[in-house]
Structure 1
Amino acid sequence: MSDAGTPMIELRGVSKSFGAKHVLRGVDLAVARGESLVVIGGSGTGKSVTLKCILGLIPHDSGQILLEGQPLTPERRARMLERFGMLFQGGALFDSLSVWENVAFRLLRGPARRPRAEARALAVDKLRRVGLGPDVADLYPAELSGGMQKRVGLARAIAADPQIIFFDEPTTGLDPIMAGVINDLIRELVTEMGATAITITHDMTSVRAIADTVAMLHEGRIRWRGPVSRLDDSGDPYVDQFIHGRAEGPIEAVR
């Protein structure tokens, strides 16, 4: 049993290369229990690779990944996966399944398996929590707008009441109004559930709406980490250039 001061997730010197390409070069990052951390950085800086290493989708080359202070062995990762939810960048809904079956996907199989009627009732309740009525439950993803699909993805992410939630570019492809709705929903749900959240995004509006803490990943290392309230006066020229979208600065734009 870990004490309250032990990070929920911690990376110590995590490195990952693909052939001669060094993507992560010794990432040190800790996420406290109940903290909402947003990782920012340019394309190709290793944000998605970091998430994939935590999830075990790809193996890291060196360093340690810890869950509640203990090394994340395959057995412990399997237990972690039972406690986590994820909102994928493109929604990743199953076209052949109805909306409620998408939301209840993990409730219909695996360790969290529930009777079908109970799983449907739980799915309808999660849809309600993201602002969708029961009339949506029997529709299929193709019948929904992009914003509604994102809400369904969010309902699926919280279906099993996870302790850890990952958000991969949660507002990609949405108009500014719907993006604001999704940001508000994420903030509300994470706070309500007391979940530990890690979000990766380029959207600075999302960063300010979702984050307790922000970490900038640059050239495979954490360049800066601090509370979202310090983002505008971080004192770091890389952070300053990135959050204001300036072409000129220490970050070289790929032309």
Structure 2
Amino acid sequence: MIRTCGLSKSFGAKRVLDSVDLTVATGESLCVIGQSGTGKSVLLKCILGLERPDAGQVLWNGQPLDRARFMARFGMLFQGAALFDSLSVWQNVAFRLRQRMDDRRARAIALDKLARVGLASDIADLMPAQLSGGMAKRVGLARAIADDPAVIFFDEPTTGLDPIRARAIDALIRGIVTETGATAITITHDMASCRIIGDRVALLADGRIAHDGPVADMDRAPALAGFLGIPSAGVGDHAR
């Protein structure tokens, strides 16, 4: 569904992306990992059109990406949820919906999506400042799926959450991706999230894809040893 071909991006003398080739199949869940500053978010911004690459292109179903059509088909869970402070919970969830339908219908859909992420209807009229971190993440997730997108992007979905809440969000994401058949790209540094959310994991290092393979095989990948806390020389022994 999505393919980046030779994607490159520099900021001044620093090359952040260096001819990145990456594919995501329809209905697949890809996790992109890497150290801070390796270009994970820049890659996501280039796919979304928030940054213009210096070279390369993004393909959508094999064709040059039609930005307007693509933007109508995607959902996004931002790092920190990024809720609008001046809007209530349901208005946040229904933000896109309210641009094309009346509030009564938009609110009904918002309540349905809130229920899907485990939130009761009695929080619909609360303001973001009244929510805990975990609740805010769930509201952000409800907003991401409100318009039944074909593609969902998750930017560090578990950042700032304790391990129990983080794994609950991971399980929700995995369930939603499986249930809807959406294509998913997750930017994360959390290897526990990769194991739950992802079908494939790609490691971005020095501007290039240093590893790309199934999540089920990542314990045997030497390139991932540092992220898994396994001494490189012992990756094979660990896998056995």
Question: Under TM normalisation by the shorter chain, which class is it?
Answer: over 0.9
Matched with 2:212 is: 225
RMSD: 1.3
Cα deviation digits, residues 82-119 of structure 1 (max 9, x gap): 0000000011001110000000000011xxx1111000
Say whether 1:54 aligns with 2:47. Answer: yes
Match of 1:241 among 223, 226, 230: 226
Query: Does the CA contact (< 8 Å) of 2:191 and 2:227 recur in 1?
Result: no
Cα deviation digits, residues 60-81 of structure 1 (max 9, x gap): 0101210000012xxx111101
TM-score normalised by length of structure 1: 0.89
Structure-1 separation of matches of 2:209 and 2:22: 7
SS, match of residue 199 in structure 1: strand
Matched with 2:196 is: 209
Identity across matched positions, percent: 66
Runs of 5+ consecutive residues of structure 2 not aligned to the other structure:
234-240
Deviation, structure 1 residue 243: 2.3
Say whether 1:137 aligns with 2:124. Answer: yes
Structure-1 separation of matches of 2:220 and 2:13: 36
Matched with 2:167 is: 180
Deviation, structure 1 residue 242: 2.2
TM-aligned CA distance change 1:246 to 1:169, over 3 Å: farther
Structure-1 separation of matches of 2:182 and 2:51: 24
Matched with 2:72 is: 82
SS, match of residue 96 in structure 2: helix
Matched with 2:238 is: none
Match of 2:36 among 30, 39, 43: 43
Cα deviation digits, residues 102-141 of structure 1 (max 9, x gap): 00000011xxx11110000000000000000110100001
The residue correspondences of 1:18-167 to structure 2 (distance < 5 A) are 18-72=11-65, 76-109=66-99, 113-167=100-154
Amino acid at match of 1:46: G
Cα deviation digits, residues 212-236 of structure 1 (max 9, x gap): 00000000000010000110001x2
SS, match of residue 165 in structure 2: helix
Amino acid at match of 1:164: V
Structure-1 separation of matches of 2:229 and 2:93: 37
Count of residue correspondences: 233
Structure 1 runs of 4+ aligned residues shifted over 3 Å read 245-248
Q: Which has the higher helix share?
A: 2
Runs of 5+ consecutive residues of structure 1 not aligned to the other structure:
1-7, 249-255
Say whether 1:10 aligns with 2:17. Answer: no
Structure-1 separation of matches of 2:82 and 2:232: 33
Deviation, structure 1 residue 187: 0.1
TM-score normalised by length of structure 2: 0.95
Matched with 2:237 is: none
